[in-house]
Amino acid sequence: MIDSLYAIVDAEVAEHPLALTFQALNAGCAIVQLRAKRLDDMAFLEIAKRIRSACTHAGVPFVVNDRADIARLVRADGLHLGQDDFSIADARRVVGDMQIGVSTHTLEQAEAANEEGADLIAFGPVFATGTKENPDPVVGLRALEEVCRRVSRPLVGIGGITPENAGETLRAGARYVAAISALPRFFTDAS
């Protein structure tokens, strides 16, 4: 399961974001995404450079959340956009052919992201989550299954993913499972 883990390192939630990144990389995660909604530009850039270096050394793709400018500056492997961020077309003007993922919360949003050329589609929250300030309504596993049938791009199950429910999320058709607050539990449960 760890090889399907999309590790989201939130620099404002994790006490030691670099240490958490190293744990994820050492455990064999599939992807690392840096998320930092409130960090100032310079702090975000500095941590992005360090995590980028660690990911490059480990051979694991590195994704920057929301910030096309920082993704381009650190030569990230990908950019992840939310529903209120740049459009995929606008983001491509900044990051070129870099992989772009999009968070979606409805079948219609997932289909639109698929049609607009997203390389990866995150869908959820599959389960209740406490990480977001104003979370979207829980979509559940059946909606995830439907989206997996209807879109051609790889899907990431997001929202409330834990080691206990990651397996059923993958069985529903997601290629990856994303974790933020439960991320450290994937490493302790794997040992």
Three-state secondary-structure class, residue 187: helix
Q: What is the DSSP string of 92-138?
A: HHHHTT-EEEEEESSHHHHHHHHHTT-SEEEE--SS--SSSSSPPPP
pLDDT at position 168 is 97
CA-wise closest residue to 148 among 122, 174, 115: 174
pLDDT at position 1 is 76
**Domain limits for position 64:** 2-190
Residues carrying an active site annotation: 35, 103, 132
For residue range 115-138, what is the model confidence (pLDDT) as tens digits? 999 999 999 999 998 766 677 899
pLDDT band at 188 (very low <50, low <70, confident <90, very high): confident
CATH of the domain at 122: 3.20.20.70
pLDDT at position 133 is 66
Question: How many domains are contained in the chain?
Answer: 1
Dist CA 46 CA 70 (whole Å): 10
Neighbours of 166 (CB within 10 A): 24
pLDDT at position 54 is 98
